[in-house]
Amino acid sequence: ETGVTQTPRHLVMGMTNKKSLKCEQHLGHNAMYWYKQSAKKPLELMFVYSLEERVENNSVPSRFSPECPNSSHLFLHLHTLQPEDSALYLCASSQETFGALATGELFFGEGSRLTVL
């Protein structure tokens, strides 16, 4: 497999469920991201992991819990979500050049479409 793959592509869950989104990158990158895309809103950065360490948490509610067990895998654990959390969740990776001008383009997966009932 190549690029960034996300599973599942579609997920429907109730507000009391616990589920997880999975992302895997096959590009040898050193940073991974979760973005949220809601209708008619810009992509919102949620979390960033660099070398498996969380470096950014963009004021995301605790009902979203990220996990990065290694540089190729990223999870987003979901629990007690609200209907307004329904959105497209996009995973991305990049190769960051530390201490220099940012040159790392983001490579996105196809997204996981989440519906919370």
Partner 1 sequence: DQQVKQNSPSLSVQEGRISILNCDYTNSMFDYFLWYKKYPAEGPTFLISISSIKDKNEDGRFTVFLNKSAKHLSLHIVPSQPGDSAVYFCAVSTSGTYKYIFGTGTRLKVLA
Q: Which of residues 40-59 bind partner 1 (CB under 8 A)?
A: 40-43, 45, 48, 50, 55-56, 58
Give dist(CA 87, CA 37) in Å, integer.
6
Structure-derived torsion over alpha carbons of residues 77, 81, 83, 86, reported in degrees to the nearest 10 = -10
- Closer to partner 1 by Cβ: residue 36 or 116: 36
| 28 near partner 1, rule: CB under 8 A | no
**CB of 112 within 8 A of CB of 8?**
yes
Q: Smallest gap, in angstroms, from Cβ of residue 2 to partner 1? A: 13
Which of 91, 104, 75 has its CA nearest to residue 34? 91
Residue ranges that bind partner 1, judged by CB under 8 A: 4, 6, 31, 33, 35, 40-43, 45, 48, 50, 55-56, 58, 90, 92, 96, 99-103, 105-111
